[in-house]
Amino acid sequence: MKLIKGKKIFVGTLVILILGFLIPENLKMPVEGASKSDYNTNSFWFYPWGQSGTHKGVDVFARKGTTINASTPGVVLYAGNIRVGGNVAIVLGPKWRLHYYAHMDEVKTASFSLVGSETILGTVGTSGNAKGKPPHLHYSILTLIPYVWRIDSDEQGWKKMFYLNPIKYFEMRN
Ligand SMILES: [Zn+2]
């Protein structure tokens, strides 16, 4: 009996895991109207980078107040204010990936909201430790399932099993 229950939980978990991979990711540039000239193509894993050591995402520069859309469908796990990121949103999207949007001027979503790709999350700003810098969206993608084969000898290279390079996904769409 116990064995059957364990098996059911295992199969159930597996089904949920697989479902996460079946939802199309179809990642879009989150900053409205932004193109390749609005970010540095070497931005990802830039070193040295302040307190974080390496830059684990991309900074997309735009005028303050520019709309930020969700880059993928998903569920907002957190929307609010934190110290370094300022006004942020964290969205769990397809493939068990977290999408982190930081330094927003205004947050226009709420925790536990369902978002479609292109749902407005907020606007570009300088909140958190971007204060005094040109307005930009800091955008990171984190996989909850570690891609251990991505680990390399770069500074903090082991963290590359979690942090994916958003620029690669932007470029796939061009
Ligand atoms: Zn950044």
Strand partners, 92: 75, 98
The three-state secondary structure class of 168 is helix
Rounded CA separation 163/125 (Å): 23
**Residue 3 — very low, low, confident or very high, per pLDDT cuts 50/70/90?**
confident
- List pLDDT tens digits, range 149-159: 999 999 999 99
Q: Which two tokens stand for residue 48?
A: 């040295």
What pTM did the predictor assign? 0.93
Q: Report CA(55)–ligand 1 centroid distance (Å).
A: 6
Farthest-apart Cα atoms in the chain, separation: 62
Residue type for position 5: K
Tens digit of pLDDT for each residue in 23-60?
Answer: 888 899 999 999 999 999 999 999 999 888 999 999 99
Distance of CA 88 from the midpoint of ligand 1 (Å)? 12
Give distance in angstroms: CA of 59 to centre of ligand 1.
5
Distance, CA 141 to ligand 1 centroid (Å)?
12
- Asked whether 60 and 139 are in contact (CB, 8 A), the reply is yes
CA of 113 to the centre of ligand 1 (A): 25
| Residue 115 Cα to ligand 1 middle (Å) | 23
